[in-house]
């Protein structure tokens, strides 16, 4: 029995991913949960495990392909007696068809020398035009051309395969004769009334004789050779073959509005659901056809232009030709880098940012951290300042709920969250990734440290799951391991605040008794959304964090 393995759901609003690497090949035997492909989404690079087990009979993807959610990755064959029998049956049916085709060819060969075509009427050149396809359908995309110059065609024979806004269909010929010119090719758009082919017509008796003989052969074999069941059977059972799509009849073509944009019904439906006028969307597909990605890109631009605080009508300046000044190297952005650039550009353009700075004296905290590290290390993790900050931030979010919210400017609503998921920015060779520690308020400091260590390792080795990157309430980004003093982190929309941590250092601090003491000071940078958070609230929030680091028992009060 054959089983299809399809690209599973990858997370909210993620509909496709790029294949970075294919980890198996045809003929391999795969087990459940074995890695099949390595994909790169807008969020991370991850391995996709198999949900089926068996021998790979067909592999449909390769590195560099873009695959949509639900698209078939491979077909796995479970070796059973029933499968073997079915395959043999299909092979027999194929042999029968080939035999029938051979008989047809023999008959054609026998009939041709019998007599030369007798032309009873004058030969003439006839233009075959694309006929009316349905009410208000003015054009269609040519998917495939089924004839070539020199072919002898019969009336009602399929000439081209076209795709309209509603279906993919074959267009039958309305004349018989010899094709002397083909005026369209696959990928082009053809208008109703446009000349498709030129045909030399005439009453050719040879054609009629052969047609009669072929009809007799087909009629003789019909009961056992051309059953409808046979047409369907091999397409569902033979390894690696895809089902044949039967085109919709002309009478089934539903009418569409005049002048409608070239887009599939599924694309039109999505456009309607998200409030996009499909006729205004520029198409990037063959012949200007509108794809799902075109609709999404257009919708995104609309939302960005309507968002509060964004500059409308800002024209991008063209880059100069840098090669005039020296050697250059162009490298295409990875999906993660593209998404990061788009997301942060959107956040910076739509959120009125303010950044508040402060320092925390962590001299005593650092001594305690080193003492407690031995306990945490027994669990296989390290106790870090970032881990401690997760617990501190959770308490701050409880005390200042406006920091644990999101803002909906279209509905003019504030969404307050009653859960506490903290994102930790991780620097990887693939780009910035933000894993999320879920339910941080319910976890001990040791468990948070273990989770942080595990998530960071997954992010760096491309093993992280998409669900581990979603649902954050507040983000912490720590650059202290690299250096620096202060910086202005960009709010990770739809969150409303982010805490930046820089490298701690010893500084002389006035002790109030006439001398300066060396104290270990930790620089903190709090960026926030000024639409919902006022400056006074921001400094109170930041001071709570500072005081909690300096006097941890304050959190218990």
**Beta bridge pairs of residue 16:** 68
Radius of gyration (C-alpha) of the chain in whole angstroms: 34
Instruction: Note if 28 is an active site residue.
Output: no
Strand 505-510 and strand 474-478: the pairing is unpaired
**Beta bridge pairs of residue 204:** 119
Tokens representing 97 are 């068809």
Catalytic residue among 303, 343, 430, 530: 530
Name the DSSP letter for residue 327. -
Q: Note the Cα 313 to chain centre separation in Å.
A: 29
- The DSSP element (H or E) to which 361 belongs, if any, is strand 353-361
Q: Scan for tokens 């390792």, then name that residue.
A: 457
Catalytic residue among 141, 361, 473, 529: 473
The CA distance from 234 to 80, in Å, is 17
The strands making up 189-191's β-sheet, listed across from edge to edge, are: 168-172, 158-163, 139-145, 189-191
Name the DSSP letter for residue 315. P
Instruction: Note if 246 is an active site residue.
Output: no
Query: Under DSSP, is residue 331 helix (H, G, I), strand (E, B) or coil?
Result: coil
Instruction: Note if 473 is an active site residue.
Output: yes
Q: How far is CA 539 from CA 38, 348, 502, 509, 544, in A?
A: 44, 21, 18, 21, 8
The strands making up 35-40's β-sheet, listed across from edge to edge, are: 45-49, 35-40, 16-22, 66-68
Question: Left, alpha or beta for 335 (phi > 0: left; psi -120 to 50: alpha)?
Answer: alpha
**Range list of β-strands (E), 425-473:** 426-428, 431-433, 436-437
Q: Scan for tokens 């089926």, then name that residue.
A: 52
Q: What residues act catalytically?
A: 473, 530, 534
């Amino acid at each position: 029995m054959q089983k299809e393995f399809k690209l599973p759901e990858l997370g909210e609003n993620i509909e496709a991913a790029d294949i970075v690497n294919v980890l198996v090949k045809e003929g391999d035997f795969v087990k459940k949960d074995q890695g099949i492909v390595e994909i790169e989404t807008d969020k991370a690079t991850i391995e996709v495990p198999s949900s089926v087990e068996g021998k790979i009979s067909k592999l449909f993807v390769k590195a560099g392909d873009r695959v949509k959610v639900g698209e078939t990755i491979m077909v796995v064959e479970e070796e059973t007696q029933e499968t073997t029998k079915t395959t043999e049956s299909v092979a027999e049916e194929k042999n029968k068809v080939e035999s029938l085709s051979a008989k047809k060819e023999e008959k054609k060969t026998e009939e041709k020398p019998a007599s030369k075509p007798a032309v009873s009427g004058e030969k003439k050149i006839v233009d075959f035009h694309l006929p009316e396809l349905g009410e208000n359908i003015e054009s269609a995309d040519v998917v495939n051309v089924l004839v070539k110059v020199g072919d002898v065609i019969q009336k009602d024979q399929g000439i081209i395969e076209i795709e309209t806004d509603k279906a993919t269909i074959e267009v039958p010929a309305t004349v018989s004769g010899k094709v002397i010119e083909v005026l369209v090719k696959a990928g082009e758009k053809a208008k109703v009334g446009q000349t498709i082919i030129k045909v030399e017509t005439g009453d050719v008796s040879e054609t009629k004789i052969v047609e009669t003989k072929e009809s007799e052969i087909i009629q003789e074999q019909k009961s056992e050779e051309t059953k409808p069941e046979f047409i369907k059977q091999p397409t569902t059972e033979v390894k690696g073959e895809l089902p044949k799509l039967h085109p919709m009849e002309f009478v089934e073509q539903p009418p569409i509005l005049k002048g409608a944009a070239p887009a599939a019904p599924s694309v039109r439906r999505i456009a309607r659901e998200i409030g996009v006028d499909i006729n205004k969307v520029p198409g990037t597909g063959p012949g200007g056809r509108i794809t799902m990605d075109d609709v999404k890109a257009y919708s995104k631009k609309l939302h960005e232009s309507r968002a509060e605080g964004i500059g409308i009508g800002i024209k991008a300046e063209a880059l100069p030709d840098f090669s005039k000044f020296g050697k250059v190297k162009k490298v295409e952005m990875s999906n993660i880098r593209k998404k990061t650039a788009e997301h942060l550009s959107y956040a910076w353009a739509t959120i009125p940012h303010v950044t508040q700075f402060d320092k925390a004296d962590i001299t005593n905290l650092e001594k305690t951290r080193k003492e407690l590290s031995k306990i945490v290390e027994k669990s296989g993790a390290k106790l870090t300042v970032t881990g401690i900050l997760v617990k501190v931030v959770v308490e701050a979010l409880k005390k200042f709920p406006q920091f644990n919210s999101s803002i909906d400017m279209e509905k003019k609503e504030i969404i307050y969250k009653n859960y506490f998921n903290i994102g930790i920015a991780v620097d990887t060779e693939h780009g910035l990734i933000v894993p999320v520690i879920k339910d941080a308020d319910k976890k001990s400091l040791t468990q948070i440290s273990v989770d942080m260590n595990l998530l960071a390792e997954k992010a760096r080795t491309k093993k992280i799951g998409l669900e581990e990157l979603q649902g954050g309430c507040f983000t912490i980004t720590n650059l202290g391991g690299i250096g620096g003093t202060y910086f202005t982190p960009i709010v990770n929309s739809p969150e409303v605040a982010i805490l930046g941590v820089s490298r701690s250092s010893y500084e002389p601090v006035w002790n109030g008794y006439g001398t300066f003491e060396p104290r270990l000071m930790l620089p903190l940078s709090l960026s926030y959304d000024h639409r919902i958070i006022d400056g006074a609230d921001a400094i109170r929030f930041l001071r709570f964090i500072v005081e909690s680091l300096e006097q941890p028992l304050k959190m218990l009060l």
